[in-house]
A and B are shown apart, each in its own frame.
Chain A
Amino acid sequence: GAVVSQHPSWVICKSGTSVKIECRSLDFQATTMFWYRQFPKQSLMLMATSNEGSKATYEQGVEKDKFLINHASLTLSTLTVTSAHPEDSSFYICSVPARSSYEQYFGPGTRLTVT
């Protein structure tokens, strides 16, 4: 069964609004989760590392004030795209590292379309 879930699976929003995407670890607690973004026909790009109980770590070039990450519990991380614009339309994927630290489990992804 699924190890990581994301909600919603797809969302359409108007330009200027904010959208929250949830990532849940279903089978185990995770002090760290990762958020990726994937544009059409491109590879995954790491956006940020979500840390339970502390601030997220953002990759270079990712606006932390625009992509708000909250790791409120050991099973839930949320990504909020604030003041969304059409160029934010993308496939957002979260991942959870396995206890063994060798594998990582990816969520099914959330497709965001900003009109």
Chain B
Amino acid sequence: DAKTTQPPSMDCAEGRAANLPCNHSTISGNEYVYWYRQIHSQGPQYIIHGLKNNETNEMASLIITEDRKSSTLILPHATLRDTAVYYCIVRVGTNAGKSTFGDGTTLTVKP
């Protein structure tokens, strides 16, 4: 699985958009980009995934660059409950579950 690089921490004001970047310059053509988050002392929660097109769901939007070497997770209106560690993972879509977690980004949403 390709390695990812994320900033260790970010702050965001409540109600504003949170933009979390992820670099995955060695991503292969058949690898998807997945985002999970982990609230303190809980199991990770799936957020969104994509291959090469931008994706949006009820939780977030995922923007993947044309060369697929980086992506950005966007939480459009961050709330205090969005404070968590966010993990960007790249893996083959059929290799479900066997994910390699990096250090992630600790997002702190402030009032």
Within 38-74 of A, Cβ neighbours of B (below 8 Å) are at 43-46, 49
Known A44-B101, A45-B101, A101-B93: A106·B45 in contact at CB below 8 Å: yes
CA distance A46 to B95 in the complex (A): 14
Whole-angstrom distance between the Cβ of A38 and the nearest chain B Cβ: 9
Residues of B within 8 A of A93 (CB): 43-44
Residues of A within 8 A of B101 (CB): 36, 43-46
Contact with B along A84-110 (1 / 0, CB 8 A): 000000010101111001111111110
How many residues does chain A have at the interface if contact means C-beta atoms less than 8 Å apart?
27
Residues of B within 8 A of A46 (CB): 98-101
Known A34-B97, A95-B97: A103·B87 in contact at CB below 8 Å: no
Q: Across the interface, name the chain A residue whose C-beta is closest to B96.
A: A97
- Across the interface, B99 reaches (CB within 8 A) one of A98, A101, A104, A109, namely A104
Whole-angstrom distance between the Cβ of A62 and the nearest chain B Cβ: 14
Known A46-B98, A98-B96: A109·B46 in contact at CB below 8 Å: no
Residues of B within 8 A of A95 (CB): 43-44, 97
Residues of B within 8 A of A32 (CB): 96-97
- Cβ of A111 under 8 Å from chain B: yes
Residues of B within 8 A of A101 (CB): 93-94, 96
Residues of A within 8 A of B43 (CB): 4, 6, 93, 95, 106-109
Q: Which residues of A contact B (CB under 8 A)?
A: 4, 6, 32-34, 36, 43-46, 49, 91, 93, 95-98, 101-109, 111
